[in-house]
Structure 1
Amino acid sequence: MAAQILEVVVERVPLIATTAIVSLLAFIIQRLFSKASLSHFPLAGAMIGDAEKRRKAYLAGAKSIYKEGYQKFKNSVFRVTSPRTYSDTVVVSPAFLPELKKLPDDVLSMSEAVAEQLEAKYTKINTDEPIVAHTVKASLTPGLVRLNHYIADEVDRTLRTELPPCKDWTEVNINSKLLRVVAIVSGRVFIGPELCHDEAYINAAVNYTIDVIQALQAVQRLTPWQRWLRGSSLPEVKNLDRHEEEATRFLRPIIAARRQAEKDQPGYQKPDDMLQWLMNERDFGEREDRELAKLQLTVSFAAIHTTTLTATNAFYNLAAHPQLVPELRQEIQTVLAEHGNQFTSPALQKMKKLDSFLKETLRLHPNAMVSFRRKVLKPITLSSGQVIPAGVMLEVPHYAISHDEETFPEPEKFDGLRFYRMREQSQTFNKPSAGGKATSVEAAAHNLFASVSQNSPTFGYGRHACPGRFFAANEIKMIVSRALLTYDIRNVGESTERYPNIEVSNLCFPDPTRKLLFKAV
């Protein structure tokens, strides 16, 4: 029907006006048809009012909308009105994840979903670069055994440099400090030990992250039809172009020097970092300097943004739950003593209480209310018989899942050793399956910080689960461990309550203006 209408328009409207009118009609038709095709799914937030009121309510904070939908339709499907388009988003129960993860990318697409999430039509952020995920999986993750030593050294050096001496209780804006710490430590792996301390790199990595978020917020404040007219020309969006130009100027001589050395020097020892790994991946084609610079910005945005938020949440929880500090500190000291005072992979794996503390931090304070966001490219029939049409966005209500009291008793309570106990209990009480001992091992593995499961889809689920989560987990563990071994931490003033997070749209992040008190042990 939509195609027939557009065909008539193209035949009868003068050519000069065809593009604009067809685009407008396509938008209207898509809205009408998608709305009709989703009407059989119950709507969360219906009591708020019409679509525009629901869109504004979502922008103000979507947590209550997702919680309402999950509580009413926990084992089924519902829809919410998101700010991205007027077509509602379909929200599915985690029970459908095992079947959804098997669908091919031409049916259920993560890259298309990310493109919409990052407003790529206007921001021009490249969301379909398989070389990045491939490089992380093929070079970064298996290389952590080798790289952990260098990451740990950089954590030690950077924390000493960025944090004040704190001989007495000293106020520290930990979020701003962590932005630089994470940028430098991540940069050690991304572009090498010398360049990661260059202020040009640090400013690009930190400010690009901030400016991407501001550009997204600027675009999403516009209604969908306003985005079509003004989205690409917003000042916040133009800032992203400036970052690409600056990153290219910074990296061009470095890339040229590496290429020249490879040609001129027999036995040239290539640098062991992400930039070089990307340059080595010839199967994805030769990359121009600007493309490599843009890839570096993309990697920095993904790593620095999420890692800093999670680490900041962890520090706010340490300050609000000081009773956990001695136990965590004791575990870290004991494990390091057993491993030559080195943050080796086995040492990090043995810090079970710290792992639990971080997973509980992520459960109670995730970076977003949803996960497993996908664009439906072809109609899907669920095992329940429900049909999800093509063209809509699909997601899982992660925040509501992690606050389900049937899965997590007292879900609103922060229990830093919750997952530690669950791991120990699963290893002790789970009976082996008929095929061997896999049952208890798998049950314990589901309770790890970097693991993904139906009840913990923070990092996604299936083959497109966040490939960098293992690097992020190691980095955060090292930062928190070194801080615990060096400082006592508490809130400023007399309050012992945890600082509340800020909720905007479907995002949830720690207040970056808050300060903590640090004192050297």
Structure 2
Amino acid sequence: MNATILNRWASQIVDKLPENVQERLGGITTAHAVQVGLGLVVLGQLYRWWKNKVPVYGGILSFSSILSTMRMSIRGPADWLEYYEKYPMAWIPHGDRWHLVVREEFAEEINRAPDSVLSTDSAMEEAIQLTHTLGTEIIENDYQLSVIRNYMTRHLHTIFPDVHDEIKYTFENDPILNSDEWKELPAFDWILQVVAKASNRVLVGVPLCRNPDWLSISLDGAVSVFKTAVFINLFPVQLRNIVGWLVSTKVPQLRRASLLTKGVIEEHMKKEDKTEKADFLDWLLSAAPPEEMNVESITRRIIAVNFAAIHTSSLNLTHALYWITSRPEYVEPMREEIEAVIGEMGWTKHAIGHMPKVESFMKECMRVVPISPSAMNKRVMKPFTFSNGVSPPVGSIVSTHVYATHMNGSIYHDPNTFDGFRFVKPEDDAVARAKETIYSTSPNYMAFSHGRHACPGRFFASMELKIMFAYLVLNYDFSWPSEMTKDLKPGEKYRPKDIWFGAGILPDPKAKILVRKRQAGSSLAETQ
């Protein structure tokens, strides 16, 4: 476009202006008008560029999200806190890609955006490569989530006895736990088994929940999903379908699982009245569309729920077990609370809702060490702009800070100190106590994420975690092997170092603890 055309275009615009405006512009030449107009356009573009210029983590490694992820894994919490404190939002590496991670003040903006603009499903589909792992069917029609929200959560009181029975059965039949002598326990691997059995007692019932082959599928299958997804995501987008087709174990795994579930699923299919003594499988079959009324499709849904339930609960319980072993002064107050409540109400859903010290201790564990440093992951599907003017590109992922928010001194008093009873509220303040449950979410507490897409199974998970933790605290003593504590200084506490990697904060999977049956009048403080 040459100067003559620009001048003619500007003159036409000026001619269309009202006469009084033209008079005021009388001293301005067409060339001036063109220059001013172009200047405003350029300034507008520069302003938008400046507004969207968000810091990128990684320093000299910022050209690679994978290398930057490795750097952040080494530096861990320090770098998450630094970027949280310095910037309202920043591009943070998550393995193969970057997430725009924002402070909690923007959480509700993410939450309010419709799914057509910010999509949780799309972010999940890529993160775990659903096409090649669990199958995209589980989000195209996610009726298993409706079952969890609308049936499972409403019937926790009827589910409770089975969960408690399975936990009690597992503990009482474990030779390591039933010794008066100290025995070494591989904590994380053991907890995985306990959580898998308790969760599957609800999903598939006895005896399948105790079947070693089924437990292997439930546990190894989830690990396989993560490994497959991470491997596929290392490749460019254009190659991922080919790589996924080559490495996927989805079909053989589903067939193997279906052979084990066939009997129990077909038995439930034959039930004429699925409301009488209904369980998870009955609810799942009632919600399934006609094309899903087959063993493989129902099994796929069970595997998907297992994938979500087992590992998150196992991570949280392992973190809690490490904390209680390193903070024995909390044991006696919690034992007194558990004994008093169980003595009055028995082991019931109502009872575990009246253990504020147990609830607070577990919530504090999840505050200090959430299982991920960020949450609310969503893909930008359509143009979206935050209130500060930043517009992440379509196709990118936005997330919120979790760990750094939980460590914010303006939100939590003395946040770096573990305070097991931080969330205990007065008995007569029902509103405050309701806000301090494990499963409550807010922009300031996102252990289970937050908003419309917060974990739908968090109510069941919270119940399951509290049963297991309360049972362990009440019936067993824990300590660290002497080689772990021999070099401690007076007053120093030992706890295995957490592992930070990408989007996860993992308890040390190789750490061992000492366990024995609770001794008469024993206190963990005496064993440290």
TM interval, short-chain normalised: 0.7 to 0.9
Structure-to-structure mapping, 1:99-248, within 5 angstroms: 99-126=109-136, 127-128=138-139, 129-162=141-174, 164=176, 165-222=178-235, 227=240, 230-234=243-247, 237-238=248-249, 240-248=250-258
Distance 2:107 2:168 in 1: 40
Matched letter for residue 168 of structure 2: D
Structure 1 residue aligned with 2:503: 506
Q: Please say if 1:55 is aligned against 2:66.
A: yes
Aligned length: 457
Q: Please say if 1:493 is aligned against 2:489.
A: no
Task: Tell me how large the CA RMSD over aligned residues is.
Answer: 2.5
Q: 1:397 aligns with which of 398, 401, 425?
A: 401
User: Alpha carbons of 1:193 and 1:415: their partners in 2 closer, same or farther (altered >3 Å)?
Assistant: same
Q: Look up the SS of the partner of 2:511 in the other structure.
A: coil
User: Alpha carbons of 1:379 and 1:347: their partners in 2 closer, same or farther (altered >3 Å)?
Assistant: same
Matched letter for residue 499 of structure 2: I
- Could you give the per-residue CA deviations for residues 448-474 of structure 1, whole angstroms, max 9, x where no partner exists? 211101111121111211111111111
Structure 1 residue aligned with 2:373: 369
Q: CA deviation at 1:256?
A: 2.4
User: Alpha carbons of 1:133 and 1:168: their partners in 2 closer, same or farther (altered >3 Å)?
Assistant: same
Structure 2 residue aligned with 1:447: 436
Deviates more, 1:151-160 or 1:204-213: 204-213
**Contact 2:448–2:455 (Cα < 8 Å) also in 1:** yes
Distance 1:510 1:111 in 2: 27
Matched letter for residue 169 of structure 2: R
Q: 1:481 aligns with which of 456, 462, 470?
A: 470
Q: Please say if 1:313 is aligned against 2:319.
A: yes
Distance 1:195 1:382 in 2: 49
**Contact 1:205–1:300 (Cα < 8 Å) also in 2:** yes
Structure 2 residue aligned with 1:297: 303
Q: Look up the SS of the partner of 1:79 in the other structure.
A: strand
Which 5+ residue runs of structure 1 have no aligned equivalent? 1-35, 429-439
Q: Please say if 1:459 is aligned against 2:448.
A: yes
- Could you give the per-residue CA deviations for residues 333-356 of structure 1, whole angstroms, max 9, x where no partner exists? 1111120x22x2221111001001
Structure 1 residue aligned with 2:35: none
Structure 2 residue aligned with 1:416: 420
Aligned-pair identity in percent equals: 26
- Could you give the per-residue CA deviations for residues 191-238 of structure 1, whole angstroms, max 9, x where no partner exists? 12332122232121122122223223433455666646534423xx43
Structure-to-structure mapping, 1:11-90, within 5 angstroms: 40-52=52-64, 54-59=65-70, 61=73, 63-73=77-87, 76-85=88-97, 88-90=98-100
Structure 2 residue aligned with 1:325: 331
- Could you give the per-residue CA deviations for residues 345-379 of structure 1, whole angstroms, max 9, x where no partner exists? 22111100100110111111111111111111111
Matched letter for residue 441 of structure 2: V
Deviates more, 1:485-494 or 1:62-71: 62-71
Structure 2 residue aligned with 1:358: 362
Matched letter for residue 303 of structure 1: A
Q: CA deviation at 1:482?
A: 1.1
Q: Look up the SS of the partner of 1:378 in the other structure.
A: coil
Q: Please give the TM-score of this superposition, normalised by the length of structure 1.
A: 0.82
Matched letter for residue 332 of structure 2: P
Distance 2:222 2:131 in 1: 18
User: Alpha carbons of 1:254 and 1:380: their partners in 2 closer, same or farther (altered >3 Å)?
Assistant: same
Distance 2:215 2:93 in 1: 38
Q: CA deviation at 1:84?
A: 2.7
Distance 2:166 2:182 in 1: 25
User: Alpha carbons of 1:443 and 1:67: their partners in 2 closer, same or farther (altered >3 Å)?
Assistant: same
**Contact 1:154–1:188 (Cα < 8 Å) also in 2:** yes
User: Alpha carbons of 1:300 and 1:38: their partners in 2 closer, same or farther (altered >3 Å)?
Assistant: farther
Structure 2 residue aligned with 1:516: 513
Structure 2 residue aligned with 1:347: 351
Matched letter for residue 186 of structure 2: N
Distance 1:68 1:233 in 2: 41
Matched letter for residue 57 of structure 1: S
Matched letter for residue 331 of structure 2: V
Q: Look up the SS of the partner of 1:489 in the other structure.
A: strand
**Contact 2:52–2:391 (Cα < 8 Å) also in 1:** no
User: Alpha carbons of 1:285 and 1:125: their partners in 2 closer, same or farther (altered >3 Å)?
Assistant: closer
**Contact 2:51–2:390 (Cα < 8 Å) also in 1:** no
Q: Please give the TM-score of this superposition, normalised by the length of structure 2.
A: 0.81
Distance 1:394 1:38 in 2: 19
Q: CA deviation at 1:66?
A: 3.0
**Contact 2:378–2:397 (Cα < 8 Å) also in 1:** yes
Rg comparison, structure with higher value: 2
**Contact 1:45–1:68 (Cα < 8 Å) also in 2:** no
